[in-house]
Amino acid sequence: MIGADGPHRLTSSHTTARAVIRTGYALVLATTWLAVPSTTPAAAAVEDEAPGVCPQAPPGTQAFADDVTAWVKWGVLALIAISAVVSLGSILVGRIFSHPHASRYGAMGVAVVVMVAITYTVILVILDSITGSGCT
For the segment 91-130, what is each residue's pLDDT rounded down to a tens digit? 999 999 999 999 999 999 999 999 999 999 999 888 887 7
Give 10 or 127, the one with higher predicted confidence.
Answer: 127
pLDDT digits (tens, 9 = 90+) for 28-58: 555 554 555 555 555 555 555 555 667 777 8
- Judge contact between 88 and 107, C-beta under 8 A: no
Residue 87 has pLDDT above 70, yes or no: yes
The span from the CA of 123 to the CA of 37, in Å, is 25
Q: What is the pLDDT of residue 38?
A: 52
Helix axes 62-96, 100-131, angle to 10 degrees: 160
Neighbour count for residue 80 (Cβ, 10 Å): 15
Q: Write the Ramachandran bin of 74: left for phi over 0, alpha for psi from -120 to 50, otherwise beta.
A: alpha
Q: What is the pLDDT of residue 104?
A: 95
